[in-house]
């Protein structure tokens, strides 16, 4: 069942229970108990859908800690919401200087407008996954709408890259049964994250790097941004400045940088 439907049903049941309790069709205590249970069910469903690392994520690659891997630790940098000129180009330059291969989750309608940027990402040896065709909240789309959006986006990126697209990160990391069904139907693996320094909030490069390091564990996936979909207004300069700091800090802590595919293969 869709999360929005669960929330609507639990809200309705709560209102009915409170109304019945008010007019003494059953005790106010039972009415309050039913209301509390409904709020818990609705709120829990919403949290499971919107948080990147919850019980639902057994269906998702989220970069959980690898505890039994010998040798050096691994970590994956991922970039969402691009391509977005000039910041995607500058991030590519920063990654090249830092000798890091990353994974970019692209918005297909933006990629189609900037095919040279998509080509530059591929040529640099980075991995491309799908973020969306248009940057929408997939919890609000019907199954048919979501399937059409993802199918279109996947085809656009595959045409632009000349490579199969294997991974999908839904906008905001939101997911429910429809998102899982669409992923399965389109042959995509959903990839969320375990580390988010919240680089989109206007914090400094130093703070982005500090937050990344303090939360980093072997096998983690880091959420960063090269784009600003759908608004296309925010600067990504601080994220660009953070890349050499992240590279230095994490390498000193014993981490190697890998793509999502390499991260997944390390778990096999």
Supply the CATH number for residue 174's domain.
3.20.20.370
Other beta carbons within 10 Å of 96: 13
Q: Are residues 188 and 233 in the same domain?
A: yes
- Residue 142: CB atoms within 10 Å: 10
Establish if 80 belongs to a structural domain: yes
- At 72, is the pLDDT very low, low, confident or very high (cuts 50, 70, 90)? confident
Q: pTM of this prediction?
A: 0.83
Instruction: Identify the active-site residue in 80, 176, 226, 228.
Output: 80
Instruction: Say yes or no: 41 and 65 in one domain.
Output: no
**For the chain, what is the mean pLDDT?**
86
To the nearest 10°, report the CA torsion of 236, 207, 98, 96.
-10
Is position 80 annotated as part of the catalytic site?
Answer: yes
33 versus 152: which is more confidently predicted? 152
pLDDT surpasses 50 at 57: yes
Q: What is the pLDDT of residue 50?
A: 53
Q: Is the pLDDT of residue 22 over 50?
A: yes
Span of 52-61, 75-84, 230-239 with lowest mean pLDDT? 52-61
Answer yes or no: do 66 and 25 share one domain: no
Q: Same domain, yes or no, for 35 and 66? A: no
Say yes or no: 96 and 188 in one domain: yes
38 lies in the same domain as 128: no
Sign of CA dihedral 204, 205, 211, 214: negative
More confident residue, 72 or 150: 150
- Does residue 268 carry a pLDDT above 90? no
Given this model, what pLDDT does residue 178 score? 87
The answer as to whether 156 is a domain residue is yes
Mean pLDDT of 70-83: 91
Report the pLDDT averaged over residues 220-232.
94
Same domain? 74 vs 43: no
Q: b/e string for 102-128 if b means 16 or more Cβ within 10 A?
A: bbbbbbbbbbbebeebbebbbeeebbb
Contact in structure between 224 and 199 (CB atoms under 8 Å): yes
Beta bridge partners of 79: 104, 224
Catalytic residue among 126, 131, 135, 225: 225
Q: How confident is the model at residue 47 (pLDDT cuts 50, 70, 90)?
A: very low
Tokens read off for 221: 């996936």
Specify if 20 maps to a domain: yes
d(CA 63, CA 57): 10
183 and 244 share one domain: yes
Are residues 37 and 67 located together in one domain of the fold? Answer: no
Who wins on pLDDT, 10 or 80?
80
> Given this model, what pLDDT does residue 256 score?
96
Give the residue from 26, 50, 74 where a domain finishes.
50
Whole-angstrom Cα distance, residue 216 to residue 92?
22
Q: 181-201 pLDDT, tens per residue?
A: 999 999 999 999 999 999 999
Residue 183 lies inside a defined structural domain of this protein: yes
| Confidence at 52, pLDDT banded by 50, 70, 90 | low
Same domain, 33 and 67: no
For the chain, how many structural domains are there in total? 2
Indicate if the pLDDT at residue 18 is higher than 70: no
* 195 & 236 share domain: yes
Least confident of 30-44, 71-85, 121-135, 249-263: 30-44
* pLDDT band, very low/low/confident/very high, at 1 (cuts 50, 70, 90): very low
Same structural domain, 41 and 105: no
Domain span at residue 256?
61-265
- What pLDDT score was predicted for residue 35? 66
Mean pLDDT for the stretch of residues 117-130: 97
> Is position 179 within any domain?
yes
Q: 242: burial class by Cβ within 10 Å (0-12, 13-18, 19+)?
A: buried
Residue 196 pLDDT: 95
């Amino acid at each position: 069942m869709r999360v929005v439907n669960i929330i609507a049903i639990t809200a309705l049941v709560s209102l009915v229970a409170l109304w019945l309790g008010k007019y003494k069709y059953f005790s106010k205590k039972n009415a309050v108990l039913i209301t509390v249970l409904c709020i818990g069910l609705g709120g829990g469903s919403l949290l499971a859908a919107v948080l990147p690392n919850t019980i639902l994520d057994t269906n998702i690659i989220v970069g959980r800690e690898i505890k039994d891997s010998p040798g050096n630790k691994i970590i994956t940098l991922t970039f969402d919401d691009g391509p977005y000129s000039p910041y995607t180009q500058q991030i590519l330059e920063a990654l090249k200087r830092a000798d890091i291969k990353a994974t970019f989750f692209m918005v297909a309608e933006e990629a189609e407008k900037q095919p040279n940027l998509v080509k530059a990402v591929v040529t640099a040896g980075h991995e491309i996954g799908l973020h969306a065709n248009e940057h929408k909240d997939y919890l609000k789309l019907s199954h048919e709408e979501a399937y059409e959006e993802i199918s279109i986006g996947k085809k656009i990126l595959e045409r632009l890259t000349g490579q199969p697209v294997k991974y999908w990160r839904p906008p905001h990391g939101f997911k429910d049964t429809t998102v899982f069904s669409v992923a399965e139907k389109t042959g995509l693996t959903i990839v969320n994250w375990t580390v988010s320094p919240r680089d989109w909030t206007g914090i400094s490069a130093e703070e982005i790097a500090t937050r990344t390091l303090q939360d980093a564990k072997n096998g983690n996936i880091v959420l960063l941004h090269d784009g600003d979909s759908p608004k296309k207004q925010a600067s990504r300069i601080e994220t660009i400045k953070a890349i050499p700091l992240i590279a230095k800090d994490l390498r000193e802590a014993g981490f190697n940088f890998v793509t999502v595919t390499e991260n997944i293969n390390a778990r096999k």
